[in-house]
């Protein structure tokens, strides 16, 4: 394949990957962050201990994390149809991507929030701060470097998951590599795709590292 033949394919696939990753990142944060907070808050000795809810949430998160992504993607097809209206295409892939990444991100949020010292939380309680204030003004800002690092890992995981979206017609760089590089023996395209993926992951990781480090230096 010549560069002229490859470039429109690459451009389109990169756009699809970007679309899938951006949207699913957004929804992952939307669901994963509250879930992670809930895991910490409802734990024994948390701000609002609730052992039953905590166990249920923990179970849900573990369930989401124990399914291989490719299986999850197929298994949630009915749900995807319910939400998006279709089961194929880039947007249809956002549903399983979010379902796969949100529990993962929730665990990372949980870990980051646990890093905030018990002292710090108790000091805020001693000042008469309520739960909402403690979560919004103590836990989240204090855990911010960890949260950013967790988000970075999640985005990289989403880029990797999105490569499987070809299985449900989601397109993207992974799909391109499989269809052209593997099935049509277009080694050059395969190599280029891999390079593009590596560059994207590097960019995301570097950006995340810089932001996390800047936040942590304070």
- Residues whose CB is less than 8 angstroms from the CB of residue 139 and which lie 6 or more positions away in sequence, other chains included: 37, 40, 113, 116, 121
Position 136 contacts other proteins (CB under 8 A): no
Contacts of 105 (CB under 8 A, 6+ apart): 28, 29, 32, 33, 36, 150, 151, 154
Report in angstroms how near the CB of residue 113 gets to other proteins at its nearest. 13
For residue 45, the minimal CB distance to other proteins (Å) is: 12
* Residue 55, burial from CB neighbour count under 10 angstroms (0-12, 13-18, 19+): exposed
Neighbours of 70 (CB within 10 A): 15
Q: Smallest gap, in angstroms, from Cβ of residue 37 to other proteins?
A: 17
Least separation in angstroms between residue 206's CB and other proteins is 23
Number of shown-chain residues binding other proteins (CB under 8 A): 21
- Residue found by looking up tokens 């593997």 in the block: 182
Complex with other proteins: residue 45 or 68, whichever CB lies closer: 45
Site for other proteins in 76-135 (CB under 8 A): 117, 119-120, 122-130, 133
- Which residues form the interface with other proteins (CB under 8 A)? 117, 119-120, 122-130, 133, 137-138, 141-142, 144, 215, 217-218
């Amino acid at each position: 394949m010549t560069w002229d033949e490859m470039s429109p394919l690459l451009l389109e696939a990169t756009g699809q990957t970007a679309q899938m990753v951006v949207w699913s990142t957004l929804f992952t944060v939307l669901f994963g962050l509250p879930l992670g907070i809930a895991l910490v808050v409802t734990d024994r000795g948390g701000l609002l201990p609730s052992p039953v809810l905590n166990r249920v949430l923990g179970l849900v998160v573990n369930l989401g994390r124990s399914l291989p992504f490719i299986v999850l993607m197929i298994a949630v097809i009915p749900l995807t149809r319910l939400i998006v209206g279709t089961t194929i295409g880039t947007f249809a892939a956002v549903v399983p991507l979010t379902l796969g990444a949100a529990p993962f991100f929730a665990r990372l949020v949980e870990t980051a929030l646990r890093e905030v010292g018990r002292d710090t939380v108790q000091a805020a309680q001693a000042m008469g701060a309520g739960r909402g204030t403690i979560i919004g003004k103590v836990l989240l800002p204090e855990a911010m470097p960890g949260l950013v690092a967790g988000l970075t890992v999640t985005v990289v995981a989403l880029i990797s998951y999105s490569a499987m979206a070809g299985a449900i017609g989601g397109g993207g760089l992974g799909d391109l590599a499989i269809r052209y590089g593997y099935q049509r023996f277009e080694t050059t395209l395969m190599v280029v795709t891999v390079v593009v993926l590596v560059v994207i992951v590097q960019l995301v990781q570097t950006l995340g590292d810089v932001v996390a480090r800047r936040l942590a230096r304070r």
